């Protein structure tokens, strides 16, 4: 029995719609014949592939075993070859590197292992010469306890007294000499979220590691400083920011709770102890509605910057692992614009090994259904905090999932190495540097928490240290499969993950995909289709068997596919080749097989892309 999910909407042209309290302009383009004008261009960020670079692991230029900015600059042509529109750099600011750069000690300087400010300026110049945008990872929730901000606040220097979240402790009724933390809040890395400062005589809040003190965003001085930091890097040529850890930006106001920080409610699950993440429900420490106004202020700031300085759009992209309703608030509310888009982590959080085609369709349609009308979607398969696609799901699904993100409307995000189908590396307990694994785990359990396996160096070739470094010793060990999976080899092979990826990203630039309507359906428990069509141009259809066994579907089940169709590109798991013809009738798909088909346009109903 065919199982499908199908959505149909009427055409909306030049209408002003209001969704979630935000006014969005909807202008749909429809070709009317061979002489129809070309579609209006979209903003660079609306359809681009954003390529995430993890600087420590991308390319080492000086042989110290750590990636750096000159190394990135030397390899920017790879991003162009891969079809990327922007390079997103994980934090490059000065840092003690307790949390791989997410503990910033100086927001105005480059971390010395990565190079100098001149290296960053050269990277931006070269990227712009190549037509690439440069996005910086901005970490506003907290700063390193080695930062001057924190030192001045701890010393109560005038103007910095309230830069961080400070609170008096509670008296221990069982021990008069003992001072208890202000509340039961638990850090994301385990243990109390409060740390005592002997110098100041108070506790400070750290929702992550103890060396990452939370800024106090109720302080106007903190908010002003964040805007100054943004302005500094925009003046340096950055094209925008990916903003980290936003759900934790604000916490409960003591003034609303009798002058103290309230305890979070207990979850009631016996497997969690008082200092373990999960012991409490973060009612007062996460997703407070006040944080969205700060994001909207930042959007207003970058929009004003663009108006004052000209050039292309500067963007705000937000990270927030939270429920779908709270995530959508990042787009904007009440007439105010927010993020250009919040990152869509559905493929990471909602899919587990063995997922079905309906599971994947549901995951796609959930975002598109909740997303405000006229907003821009985005699709993320992986990042530095999660196991790689080939390891988390299955190696056979790499090409099909890359094809899915290519054909869906909106932007896509590629974590370095996903274009090669890289897998997680092996990192022993002795080699582990991830603060979360070290804080929450031990030699027996660290693998449950460690993010290091997804952060091992990029595989440029099959030589020593995978071409990442001239040093045999690298900050994390190079994965042992680098001789089998590397860029040099895949560029030489007649068929490879990288060549499939290139073809898919080239396809994304076609008007059918930038402006066309879409249909997303599950044809069976194993196979889904995505159809993109825009009359009178050719349509493109992805047929993808996500299962571990073969499946047979009928081509007449696929709406808007005009047969015969030509195979545009296939996954490596397919025995078909580009140029093969697909005729009406049964279509057998091997396990993990993905086909992108090109066919004449057929007028049909589907979701109208604004």
The residue annotated as part of the active site, out of 214, 244, 287, 419, is 244
Pair 240, 88: CB distance under 8 Å = no
User: Distance of CA 250 to CAs 3, 289, 290, 328, 563, Å?
Assistant: 44, 9, 7, 18, 55
Beta-strand runs (E) in 164-219: 166-167, 170-172, 175-180, 194-197, 202-205, 212-214
286, 212 contact by CB (below 8 A): no
- Whether 244 is a known active-site residue: answer yes
Cα separation, 602 vs 14, whole angstroms: 24
Burial class of 525 by CB neighbour count within 10 A (0 to 12, 13 to 18, 19+): middle
Among residues 17, 128, 136, the alpha carbon closest in space to that of 76 is found at: 128
**CA contacts within 13 A on the Cβ side of 150:** 24
Report d(CA 450, CA 434) in Å as an integer.
6
Contact status, residue 546 vs residue 554, Cβ threshold 8 Å = no
Given a contact cutoff of 8 angstroms between Cβ atoms, the answer to whether 487 and 461 are in contact is yes
Residue the block writes with tokens 């609303």: 256
Catalytic member of 113, 239, 251, 319: 319
DSSP β-bridge partners for residue 280: 266
For 68-91, b where at least 16 C-beta lie within 10 A, e where not — what string?
A: bbbbbbebbebbeebbbbbbbbbb
Catalytic residues: 244, 319
């Amino acid at each position: 029995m065919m199982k499908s999910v199908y959505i149909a909407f009427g055409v909306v042209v030049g209408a002003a719609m209001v969704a979630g309290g935000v006014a969005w302009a909807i202008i749909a383009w429809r070709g009317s014949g061979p002489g129809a004008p070309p579609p209006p261009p979209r903003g660079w960020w609306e359809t681009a592939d954003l390529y995430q670079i993890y600087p420590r692991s991308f390319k080492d230029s000086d042989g110290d075993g750590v990636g750096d900015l000159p190394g990135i600059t030397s390899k920017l042509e790879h991003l162009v070859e891969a079809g990327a529109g922007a390079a997103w750099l994980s934090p490059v600011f000065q840092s003690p590197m307790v949390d791989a750069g997410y503990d910033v000690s100086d927001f105005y300087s480059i971390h010395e292992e990565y190079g100098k400010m001149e290296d960053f300026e050269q990277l931006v110049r070269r990227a712009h010469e190549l037509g690439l945008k440069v996005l910086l990872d901005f970490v506003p929730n907290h700063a390193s306890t080695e930062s001057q901000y924190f030192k001045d606040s701890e010393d109560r220097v005038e103007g910095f007294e309230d830069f961080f979240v400070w609170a008096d402790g509670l008296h221990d009724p069982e021990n008069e000499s003992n001072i208890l933390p202000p509340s039961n809040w638990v850090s994301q890395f385990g243990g109390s979220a409060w740390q005592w400062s002997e110098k100041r005589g108070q506790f400070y809040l750290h929702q992550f590691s103890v060396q990452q003190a939370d800024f106090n965003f109720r302080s106007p001085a903190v908010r002003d400083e964040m805007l100054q930091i943004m302005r500094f890097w925009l003046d340096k040529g950055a094209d925008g920011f990916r903003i980290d850890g936003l759900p934790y930006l604000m916490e409960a106001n003591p003034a609303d709770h009798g002058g103290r920080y309230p305890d979070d409610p207990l979850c009631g699950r016996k497997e969690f102890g008082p200092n373990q993440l999960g012991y409490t429900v973060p009612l007062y420490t996460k997703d407070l509605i006040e944080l969205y106004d700060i994001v909207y202020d930042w959007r207003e700031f970058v929009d004003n910057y663009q108006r004052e300085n000209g050039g292309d759009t500067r963007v705000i992209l937000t990270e927030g692992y939270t429920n779908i309703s709270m995530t959508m608030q990042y787009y904007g509310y009440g007439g105010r614009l927010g993020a250009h888009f919040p990152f869509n982590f559905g493929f990471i959080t909602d899919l587990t090994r063995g997922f079905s085609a309906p599971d994947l369709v549901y995951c796609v349609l959930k975002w598109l259904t909740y997303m405000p009308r006229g907003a821009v979607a985005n699709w993320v398969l992986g990042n530095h905090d999660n196991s790689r696609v080939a390891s988390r799901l299955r190696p056979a699904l790499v090409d099909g999932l890359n094809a899915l993100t290519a054909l869906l409307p909106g932007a896509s995000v590629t974590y370095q190495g996903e274009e090669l189908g890289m897998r997680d590396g092996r990192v022993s307990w002795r080699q582990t540097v991830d603060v979360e694994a070290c804080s929450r785990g031990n030699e027996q359990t660290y693998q449950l928490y460690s993010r290091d396996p997804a952060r091992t160096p990029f595989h440029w070739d099959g030589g020593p240290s995978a071409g990442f470094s001239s040093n045999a010793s690298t900050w994390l060990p190079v994965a042992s499969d680098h001789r089998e999976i590397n860029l040099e080899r895949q560029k030489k092979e007649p068929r490879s993950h990288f060549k499939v990826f290139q073809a898919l990203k080239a396809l994304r630039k076609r008007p059918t995909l930038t402006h066309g309507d879409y249909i997303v359906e599950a044809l069976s428990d194993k196979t889904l289709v995505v159809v993109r069509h825009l009359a009178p141009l050719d349509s493109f259809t992805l047929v993808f068997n996500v299962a571990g066994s073969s499946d047979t579907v009928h081509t007449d089940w696929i709406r808007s596919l005009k047969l015969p169709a030509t195979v545009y590109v296939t996954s490596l798991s397919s025995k078909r080749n580009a140029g093969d013809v697909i005729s009406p009738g049964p279509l057998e798909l091997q396990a993990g097989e993905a086909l992108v088909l090109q066919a004449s346009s057929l007028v049909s109903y589907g979701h109208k892309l604004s």
